[in-house]
Amino acid sequence: MKKLISCIIFLAGFSLFSENRVTIKADRESVTALIELNEGESINLNPETLYLLIESNDFNYQFNGYPDGDIDSEGIIIYRDKLVLNGTIYEIDGIKQEKPSINVIVGFQISDKDGNLQIPVEISEEFILAQERDVSGIIILLSALTIALAILIFIIYKRKRA
């Protein structure tokens, strides 16, 4: 029973730990992850636990590198308050799918205010990246119809006055 309660407390703490801390955005050109930290928390720059990746059959990906951060006494780069990671995605030539998708994976490990490393967290979110449609033709068609309707109304008005 003691182990069950400890497990429940651990899972509840883990849920609170990772909830609403990461915002991921993606479009057909880039992917961005914002990691927000509580006061006193930090993230060390360790590529094994801090990363932004994508999985996709439709796109290639290039990570844009880590942003500048503070340097601690041991020469380790650390991030406080928030951290933004981003990358560029490139369509693979010949993609014909109407709704290609990517799976964005963000990994990080937080140090608490006492410097203790927490359990590494990995979050993934899938995005369907529909192709942007060219609406200029529709706008021209609607404009032409509006002008035609205005001319028709003008002609009807002129005939009624005559």
Q: What is the CATH number of the domain that holds 98?
A: 2.60.40.1250
Of residues 22, 37, 17, 15, the one with CA closest to residue 125? 22
Tokens for 103, please give them. 């799976």
The range of the structural domain enclosing residue 91 comes to 2-131
My answer on whether 55 and 74 are in the same domain is yes
Per-residue confidence at 24, pLDDT binned at 50, 70, 90? very high
3 pLDDT exceeds 90? no
Task: Supply the pLDDT for residue 10.
Answer: 46
My answer on whether 146 and 115 are in the same domain is no
My answer on whether 109 and 153 are in the same domain is no
My answer on whether 66 and 94 are in the same domain is yes
Tokens for 76, please give them. 């380790």
What confidence tens digit (pLDDT) does each residue in 46-94 have? 999 999 999 998 888 999 999 999 998 889 999 999 999 999 998 887 7
Predicted model pTM: 0.67
Q: Report the distance separating Cα 122 and Cα 21, nearest Å.
A: 12
Of residues 49, 115, 57, the one with CA closest to residue 85? 49
3-state secondary structure the chain: CHHHHHHHHHHHHHHHHHCCCEEEEECCCEEEEEEECCCCCEEECCCCCCEEEEECCCEEEEECCCCCCEECCCCCEEEECEEEEEEEEEECCCCCCCCCEEEEEEEECEECCCCCECCCEEEEEEEECCCCCCCHHHHHHHHHHHHHHHHHHHHHHHHHHC
Strand pairing report for 51-55 and 101-108: antiparallel
My answer on whether 80 and 141 are in the same domain is no
Total domains in the fold of the chain? 2
Per-residue confidence at 160, pLDDT binned at 50, 70, 90? confident
Per-residue confidence at 162, pLDDT binned at 50, 70, 90? low
